[in-house]
Chains A and B, each alone.
Chain A
């Protein structure tokens, strides 16, 4: 079992729709969680950190469920520019950053 697992997609979603991805992690002692965005042939960029209480940034909402060991990312009112690969990143108990393989999102007009 991979330490951080994501559905690779692609998720094909019409513009304006709401889409959600999950990411599961295997180390229950993991400390911090992040979502990064990576455009095709570009470097990853931090989208948002994920806090225990959940957090929201505009159209984006991230949540953490420690009991079930997953984090989620919700995108509301999706835009064409949201098309990208979304990478889940987990800081485990050994201070190792473990990256998921990413979920590809395609927003269609």
Chain B
């Protein structure tokens, strides 16, 4: 399967701990997006990369959140000093060049902060 993959699929952590998630996009896709989704809501845009460059960050992304895509391939999303409000599904998607191109989503990482 050459779709978007995310690891881990589930993460349970205690408040105050740091967590890191990984996303491996479809190999020929230049764009990579991170979203957060809570129950009953649509995905909320967090940030996106064009190759290795992080081009946009949502104001939802506090200083505790950081994302990287060092070689323009896989990406990591780190949350420092997790809070209970960070509990959500974190979705990664990838696409070709343009905004109008189909975004292909990974299965997500479900984070539970106790």
Inter-chain contact B43/A99, CB cutoff 8 Å: yes
Inter-chain contact B107/A43, CB cutoff 8 Å: yes
Q: Mark B95-111, 1 if CB is under 8 A from A, else 0.
A: 00001101101111000
A-chain residues with CB within 8 Å of residue B106 when the two chains form the complex? 43
CB within 8 Å for A97 and B99 given contacts A43-B106, A43-B107? yes
Instruction: Give how many A-B residue pairs fall within 8 Å (CB-CB).
Output: 42
A16 at the interface (CB under 8 A from B): no
Q: Mark A65-97, 1 if CB is under 8 A from B, else 0.
A: 000000000000000000000010101000111
Inter-chain contact A46/B102, CB cutoff 8 Å: yes
CB within 8 Å for A32 and B100 given contacts A42-B107, A43-B91? yes
B residues touching A (Cβ–Cβ < 8 Å)? 35, 40-45, 56, 91, 99-100, 102-103, 105-108
Inter-chain contact B107/A49, CB cutoff 8 Å: no
State which residues 30-77 of A face B: CB under 8 Å: 31-32, 42-46, 49
A31 to B98, CA, bound (A): 13
A89 to B106, CA, bound (A): 18
A99 to B41, CA, bound (A): 9
Q: How far is the CB of B53 from chain A (nearest CB, A)?
A: 15
A102 to B43, CA, bound (A): 10
Inter-chain contact B105/A102, CB cutoff 8 Å: no
CB-nearest residue of chain A relative to B33? A97
Q: Among A8, A89, A95, A97, which residue has the most Cβ atoms of chain B within 10 A?
A: A97
A99 to B91, CA, bound (A): 13
